[in-house]
Structure 1
């Protein structure tokens, strides 16, 4: 890379050279990253000229280059606004060279960032003009298993992972990130995409992500409210004339919940995620000693811990298999549609790649609601008969 000069205020870091092809027809592609904290990374990649000439984008670049055996991607060194995503570019170049999974692993492409996945998808469809993004599925599966499955999620990373997990049909990953978002996201869930991703085709259909996810959060809130309020409601509704302390008992219970910022649940959710509220429930204490036996018999600490347990186990994430099966494949619903969407011995995950309970099946449903209700009623009848 002789004579490579840039802005005096930008430090150039020359990364290790990468070899993807080593033959008489090889050429060099220099990747210039975007400037980050006044540093720009420069990477030379040895590639096959014959392979690159089959690429619509690279062929154009090569044809107008002063030296067709040495081209640069990422703009001008003097312009700090230019730059190409190195990890994504390597994924793109590796795939047009049909590198093996083992070779891609040697290049570290099984450890790239979530943003690199989005950038690689954009390069594959926009630069390479490939319609089938499933060409990248094997690579993504390896990447997820070796890197993403082991990472500690946060809301940002989980939000970015949702789209690639769905589009690459990674059921385990999609369930994991959607469960995380339901419990850890503050407020209504929205779709996320990295800065710089411009193609509008890269988004999740609202009825396959935003709708079901906020439906799950609604069910989670109802579960907490139901379990948290059941015992107090019984005190309010029954035999109050025989007790002189029911009102004080309920008041002390609610005050203890307010103390840990878990009541009302609607108010607490304005400041907290579901998981933060559930974690605070571990600290719940009840020190008031009611006057009557009926009020004293209620273990309010147990009530709150059972509420927490019920909410924690309510939602297992969205199920790609349930979503796919419940999509009507035509105007007429045949017997097969009813069969594959029914529960099996009161289990809703017997045909799925991830284990889950009824709530996940219900929220993941993409068919008609009246069909869902009929299937649910049928399962309840079978359960009663058993």
Structure 2
């Protein structure tokens, strides 16, 4: 297998792919004909390799092991301005490309345009991939690594709304030779915190009026009014008071709330005289709860995540001025600003002044 990335080429890299790194479980070899000056310009690793006197000989062919051919093809192609077709690259290949960038000390910015094209291809040609939870878990780290703000926002938001249990990241390969790469732990912590917040808002919105009625209303019709509401929520599979909410993703619960039908509520008797409180409709309450949760979280934003000096009073003052996306590439609201903060809130002057 041979790749011509420079013509004329003044150096050939030999890449040997180990059996553990491919589905064929066979050793594969590829020859990359490249431009030495471009390697030196873009990589401190290759600069060191080619700095020795013996390395400048025409017959010198560095042999590289521990990489995949596709990962090296993407990395070396980007260095030489050769566009690698996105349809030939899997999400596992993207991870191996990241591994190659780290190993050969290549600035991720060199591949940001290529990654953006790959994301665009996935969105347009493989839209159903975005519906797969494992795919989103695998995509979170590459979007973070290549600073793709929109894709990272979409993936993080989708994970918060569509994950049933605890949100975790996921590597696309379990090869023994693949060294795991992870998101910062605080990022996963904030994603799960956002998911927990959505559940809290949902429970509060659905049952706040129920609690008020129980605490303050003493009419005879109140019991039937509340029971019919609870019965309809039970019918559509929304029971936030028990553990079921932890077994379902937020998106599923919101879709079920759309099926709320007040006409099917048990013990609903239009001819029966009711007080003004119990005559009130439950449907607007359910609709409001659904809208509130659906529009609450926009996903994590990389710009906010980077801007987190612990003692920056100006940053924390944003919360009082209601300008949460002043320096961000994409506009968003307060919840996204809050959950995207990656510093220590206990050292915030803003918090200390308001405690």
Cα 1:255–1:369 shift into 2, 3 Å:
farther
1:314 lines up with 2:296 in the alignment: yes
Query: Partners in 1 of 2:184 and 2:13 — Cα distance?
Result: 40
Alignment check: 8 A CA contact 1:235 1:246 kept? yes
Question: What does residue range 241-256 of structure 1 map to in structure 2 within 5 Å?
Answer: 243-256=219-232
SS in 2 for 1:269: helix
1:327 lines up with 2:309 in the alignment: yes
Question: What does residue range 44-59 of structure 1 map to in structure 2 within 5 Å?
Answer: 47-48=33-34, 50=36, 55=46
Question: What does residue range 225-244 of structure 1 map to in structure 2 within 5 Å?
Answer: 225-240=203-218, 243-244=219-220
Q: Which residue of structure 1 aligns with residue 238 of structure 2?
A: 262
Query: Partners in 2 of 1:24 and 1:198 — Cα distance?
Result: 31
1:137 to partner: Cα distance: 3.0
Cα 1:57–1:327 shift into 2, 3 Å:
same
Name the TM-score, length of structure 2 as normaliser: 0.77
Q: Which residue of structure 2 aligns with residue 143 of structure 1?
A: 118
Which sections of structure 2, spanning at least 5 residues, go unmatched? none
Query: Partners in 1 of 2:255 and 2:298 — Cα distance?
Result: 18
1:276 lines up with 2:252 in the alignment: yes
Query: Partners in 2 of 1:374 and 1:28 — Cα distance?
Result: 55
Query: Partners in 2 of 1:48 and 1:178 — Cα distance?
Result: 38
1:253 to partner: Cα distance: 1.1
SS in 2 for 1:188: coil
Which sections of structure 1, spanning at least 5 residues, go unmatched? 2-16, 75-82, 379-386
1:356 lines up with 2:332 in the alignment: yes
Query: Partners in 2 of 1:214 and 1:373 — Cα distance?
Result: 24
1:313 to partner: Cα distance: 0.8
Alignment check: 8 A CA contact 1:21 1:46 kept? no
Question: What does residue range 115-134 of structure 1 map to in structure 2 within 5 Å?
Answer: 115-126=92-103, 128=104, 130=105, 132-134=107-109
Cα 1:305–1:263 shift into 2, 3 Å:
same
CA deviations 1:256-278 (Å, max 9, x no partner) are 11222211255223432111111
1:55 to partner: Cα distance: 4.3
Q: Which has the higher contact order (CA 8 A, sep 6+)?
A: 2
| Bigger mean CA offset, 270-279 vs 178-187 | 270-279
CA deviations 1:140-164 (Å, max 9, x no partner) are 23433x2345444122122122222
Alignment check: 8 A CA contact 1:162 1:177 kept? yes
Alignment check: 8 A CA contact 2:238 2:256 kept? yes
Give the alignment's Cα RMSD to 1 decimal.
3.7
Cα 1:23–1:266 shift into 2, 3 Å:
farther
